[in-house]
Chains A and B, each alone.
Chain A
Amino acid sequence: MTTEGGLRFEDVTVRYGATTAVDGVSLTVPPGQVVGLVGESGSGKSTLARAAVGLAPVCAGRITLDGRPVPTRGRRRPLQMVFQDPYSSLDPRMRIGDSIAEALPPGRSRAERRAEVERLLELVHLDPGRAAVLPALLSGGQRQRVALARALAADPQVVIADEITSALDVSIQGAVLNLVRELQRELGLSLLFISHNLAVVRYVASHVAVMHDGAIVEEGPAHRVLTDPCHDYTRELLAAVPGSTAPDRPRRTP
């Protein structure tokens, strides 16, 4: 991962008062790649994501996109994020089409915006004719598709997906993961895919970084990290996956 492009975190530190949530993290999401970020709650992975989009204060270090600082002001936002809870991330009073249109880059006619919203809904496999419905009429999985469409509307270079399937029922999770993979392949999307679920990350990501106590303890190609981990903490995580068949998994008392 020596490419200059993509999303780069360089020695990023985020502090809340006396607590250091992210401690000197360096990570790169190369163009067209999916990097999985795993770790437990409190490991700082979501804080890292929020820092990238300007929702958490960066105390030290730099976050760059294609070599330039990530813009956190103005209408043009090349870094987008999809949130965990689709019930909280869509305005309940706004039609889904309007929510998506809001994220479109400025300078388009009304008709162009409408056509673009329809294209995006089609892209995430929702009926474009339903742009006028309110989120309350959609299931969790459908809402998460709308949230994905909204992120794509901004024509982003990189999308951060923060635990986007963990609030969904397992039956819906699969469909959203399929969509993420399909979008990534079709659009050549760069993705920072954050999840505590190793099986989910394994399915989506080509690279995996493991975060623990605010620092990245291991990083590398997904198949290598998940089959032949170097760090003890990664091994511990792998052993804890339910139904895991890892050879060094401790036997459970019957």
Chain B
Amino acid sequence: MWRRWRGVLRTPLGLGAAALTAAVLVLAVVAPMLWTDDANAVDTGNILAGASGEHWAGTDNLGRDILYRTLVATRLSVELAVAATAIAVLAGLVLGTAGFVLGRRSSRLVSATINIAVAFPGILLALFFAVIFGVGATGAVFAIGLAGAPVFGRLTQTLVAGVAARDFISAARIAGVGRLRILVRHVLPNIAEPLVVNATIGAGGALLSFAGLSFLGLGVQQPDYDWGRLLFDGVGSIYVNPAAALAPGAAVLLAGLAFNLLGESIAKALGVGVVGGIPALGPAPVSLAAEDAPVEPAGHDGTDLVLDVRDLEVTFPGARGPIRPVRGVSFGVRRGEAVGVVGESGSGKSLTALAVSRLVGEPGRVEASRLELLGHDLRARDSRAQRRLLGTSLTMVFQDPMTSFNPTRRMGGQLAEVARHHQGMDRRAALARAVDRLRAVRIGDPERRAHQYPHEFSGGMRQRAMIGMGLMGSPALIVADEPTTALDVTVQQQVLDLLATIRAADDVALVLISHDVTVVGEVCDRVLVMYAGRIVEDLPAADLAGSARHPYTRALVAAVPDMDTDLDQPLAVIPGRPVDPADVPPGCAYAARCPLATARCRAEDPPLESDGTGRRVACWHAGEPIAVEIADREEVEV
């Protein structure tokens, strides 16, 4: 956690803000000790003097040095701001957590109270407290503190609600831990960071508010003085000695800025994690040799390829150098072929799909020695023609159909947009085609459904509508990334059936990405098994169950129970954990988990080699027998 906080100092702005805040705080402690006498020294011979070598910011109506007074006033100004912020945060915490502690019914009442208080203007509250506590520092502290409380209350309430919905709170409740204890032990530690950040920004705001109140004469009273008071006194003689007002003004500005910027720098550093400067990436790793002697995707004559990918690499900048989640992937997809891509999370399977669809966003970089869709080079710069090609020939289906649609627009209109945009149809024709396509994906009563919004569709229907959207053009390739993972088994079956029907009817190629070996094995002709950003095996789906040759493929298949699994045997497991893309070991990435691994595996990465029958495998020990190993312990590797 401290590493994250240290990230604040990594940016010039954060470092500057932290230094400035530290300077203000040091000054608040030190200045009154050093310069109180100088600040209070009355010099009747030098009243209301302008800036001079002796008095840099001039003197006030008793001849006291304004610069010294400004420096000494730092302590009171900061103290008041901090006190008011403390009141605001404490009162806010009480308000914001009351609902959690008291239970559902009371929380509504508290919520309503906060809502009303937030709407109440702060300055009015300040005036109100000034009347109660009398004009002076105490009243001002309470006024500004309590005026800030509702905002912190709302913030706390929102943060608490976010944490309270998490399962570990439920788990603690089921374990019989009391609400107050849950609050202190589980909730507060998890909301502390954003609260601290906002309190810091709040302190900057309070500082400005105090200056404002004192300037209005409602704040600090003589003989005490803070920056606002000095400003108030200085403004009277602004035409005689502008420095008298400017010095405290500048102090307020600097200190306020320091707190605000520090708060925002912390927020930024904690919010986005520690991302150092983006390191320069090396030159494209694709050598000419790779271009001349490409790994021939097995079993293709190259003419009927819908998709041709060679040496695909996806790179992201990381804190310790570039991360390559996809490290040299080559494959081809023929017309009408269904290719499955399987692997654990982090294997690079989804990024491969995104790279093909040109959907890898900044700061990711995609490189390949060949990346062609229907013979068109997808590596070329983004152009209208290319967008049109992607828009009409390639269809992407995502895991979560809810986030794939705009919730505020009718389904028919969203589908029609594709035809209007890419095929130049008019509104009526496009809508007619949208209805037709909804019918094609077996959505009943498509005329009525086209007028509905995405939330009126069930999950399975949305996924089918998503496929229907892809069918607005005449796609040659459907890339489906975990299309059924969020769906129930019976709905999953409908979607998979639909994909199979479309494929058969229009000779559309399919790339199906899934973590589920059984789904891929059932739907696809050919399966690519990915591990740590590489294809480790490329084999016919029919061979998955019986004759896979890579130990990882065999382990994946064995680890999944099916309806015929022997109930008397423990399930096979893959020991260890997947490789972190930021830290790929030398040699074969799977070696650490592999029962067949030898010294050669740990030193030399096996190439993906074709065995002449159209299958490819990357393993020095492909096909060697594996003794069934039941590891029951997952080692904690830190």
Residues of A near any B CB (own CB < 8 A): 40-41, 53-55, 74-77, 79-81, 83-85, 88-94, 99, 102-103, 125-127, 130, 133, 137-139, 141-142, 145, 147, 150, 153-154, 169-175, 177-179, 181-182, 196-200, 202-203, 226, 236-246, 252-254
A171 touching B176, Cβ below 8 Å: no
Distance of B447 from chain A, by nearest CB (Å) = 27
Interface residues of B in 412-457 (CB under 8 A from A): none
Q: Which residues of A contact B168 (CB under 8 A)?
A: 88-91, 99
Q: Please tell me if the beta carbons of B167 and A89 are within 8 angstroms of each other in the complex.
A: yes
Specify which chain B residues have a CB less than 8 angstroms from the CB of A92 in the assembled complex: 190
A-B contact pairs, 12 of them (CB 8 A): A55-B173, A75-B176, A91-B190, A170-B556, A174-B561, A182-B632, A197-B489, A238-B563, A243-B518, A243-B562, A252-B500, A253-B497
Nearest 6 interchain pairs by C-beta: A40-B488, A174-B571, A89-B167, A103-B175, A243-B518, A171-B574
Determine whether B570 belongs to the interface, using a CB cutoff of 8 Å to chain A.
yes
A52 (CB) vs chain B CBs: closest residue? B174
Q: Is B516 an interface residue (CB 8 A)?
A: yes
User: Closest CB-CB distance, B336 to chain A, in whole Å?
Assistant: 11
Residue from B175, B515, B521 within 8 A of A80 (CB atoms): B175
Q: How far is the CA of A211 from the CA of B561 in the complex (A)?
A: 22
Give which listed residue, B556, B561, B578, contacts A202 with CB less than 8 A: B561
Residue from B173, B490, B492, B577 in contact with A139 in the complex, judged by beta carbons closer than 8 Å: B577
Asked if A253 and B560 make an inter-chain contact with CB atoms under 8 angstroms apart, the answer reads: no
Q: Is the pair B497, A252 in contact by a Cβ cutoff of 8 Å?
A: yes
Among candidates B493, B578, B636, residue contacting A138 with C-beta atoms closer than 8 Å: B636
Q: Write out the residue numbers on chain B whose beta carbons fall within 8 Å of the beta carbon of A177.
A: 561, 571
Q: Does B565 contact A (CB under 8 A)?
A: yes
B577 cross-chain contacts in A, Cβ below 8 A: 139, 141
Contact (Cβ within 8 A) A246 B632: no
- B633 within 8 Å of A by Cβ? yes
Contact (A171, B555) CB under 8 Å given A133-B638, A139-B577, A241-B489:
yes
Residue numbers in A under 8 Å from B176 (CB-CB): 74-77, 103, 154
Interface residues of B in 475-504 (CB under 8 A from A): 488-493, 496-497, 500-501, 504
Beta-carbon contact of A77 and B174 below 8 Å: yes
A156–B565 CA distance with the chains assembled, in angstroms:
30
A125 engages B174 (CB within 8 Å): no
Would A198 and B632 be within 8 Å (CB), given that A83-B167, A241-B489 are in contact?
Answer: no
B344 within 8 A of A: yes
Q: Please indicate the chain A residues that have their CB under 8 angstroms from the CB of B638 in the complex.
A: 133, 137
Known A171-B574, A181-B570; judge A55-B634 contact (CB<8 A): no
Find the A residue at minimum CB distance from B172: A102
B632 and A173 contacting across the interface, CB-CB below 8 Å: no
Contacts of B633 in A (CB 8 A): 125-126
Of all chain B residues, which has the CB nearest A254? B504
Q: Does residue B171 face the partner (Cβ distance < 8 Å to A)? A: yes
- Known A-B contacts A171-B556, A199-B562; the reply to A127 vs B635 at CB < 8 A is yes
B345 at the interface (CB under 8 A from A): yes
Question: Complex: how many Å from CA A138 to CA B635?
Answer: 10
Contact check, B492 vs A240: say whether CB atoms are below 8 A apart: yes
Q: How many A-B residue pairs have CB under 8 A?
A: 193
Q: Which of B175, B344, B563, B570 contacts A169 (CB 8 A)?
A: B344
CB contact under 8 A between A200 and B174, given known A125-B634, A142-B636, A178-B570:
no
A146-B318 Cα distance, complex, nearest whole Å: 30
A245 to B490, CA, bound (A): 15
- List the A side residues contacting B185 at CB < 8 Å: 91, 94, 102
Q: What chain A residues lie within 8 Å of B175 (beta carbons)?
A: 77, 80, 102-103, 150, 153-154
Q: A77–B175 Cα gap in the complex (Å)? A: 6
Instruction: Report chain A residues within 8 Å CB of B186.
Output: 91, 93-94
Shortest CB-to-CB span from B539 to chain A, Å, is 16
Once the chains bind, are A242 and B636 in contact (CB under 8 Å)?
A: no
- B binding-site residues for A, Cβ under 8 Å: 166-168, 170-177, 185-186, 189-190, 344-345, 488-493, 496-497, 500-501, 504, 515-519, 521-522, 555-556, 559-565, 567, 570-574, 577-578, 630-636, 638
Q: A241-B489, A242-B516, A245-B564 are in contact. Are A253 and B634 (CB under 8 A)?
A: no
B167/A170 in contact, CB under 8 A: no
Contact residues in B for A40 (Cβ distance below 8 Å): 488-491
| Chain A residues whose CB sits within 8 angstroms of the CB of B519 once the complex forms | 242
Q: A77-B176, A94-B185, A243-B522 are in contact. List 9 more A-B contacts (CB 8 A).
A: A40-B489, A93-B189, A126-B636, A141-B577, A171-B559, A175-B634, A178-B632, A199-B563, A236-B490
Residues of B contacting A203 in the complex (Cβ-Cβ under 8 angstroms): 561, 565, 567, 571
Assuming the contacts A125-B633, A138-B636, asked whether A178 and B490 have C-beta atoms less than 8 A apart, the reply is no
Nearest-Cβ distance from residue B157 to partner chain A, whole angstroms: 20
CA distance A93 to B185 in the complex (A): 9
Q: Are A237 and B490 in contact (CB under 8 A)?
A: yes
Min C-beta distance of B2 to chain A, whole Å: 13
CB distance B174 to A53 under 8 Å? yes
**Which residue of chain B is the closest to A85 with respect to CB atoms?**
B167
Interface centre among A182, A196, A202 (most CB of B within 10 A): A202
Q: How far is the CA of A77 from the CA of B570 in the complex (A)?
A: 31
**Distance (whole angstroms) from the CB of A182 to the closest CB of chain B:** 7
Cross-chain contact B563 with A246 (CB below 8 angstroms): yes
Min CB gap A157→B, angstroms: 14
Contact of B559 among A142, A174, A252, A253 (CB under 8 A): A174
Which B residues lie within 8 Å of A246 (CB)?
Answer: 563
Complex-state Cα separation, A100 to B546, whole angstroms = 42
Q: Name the residue in A127, A170, A253, A254 with the highest tally of chain B Cβ atoms < 10 Å from its Cβ.
A: A170
Nearest Cβ on chain B to A183's Cβ, whole angstroms: 11
Contacts of A237 in B (CB 8 A): 489-490
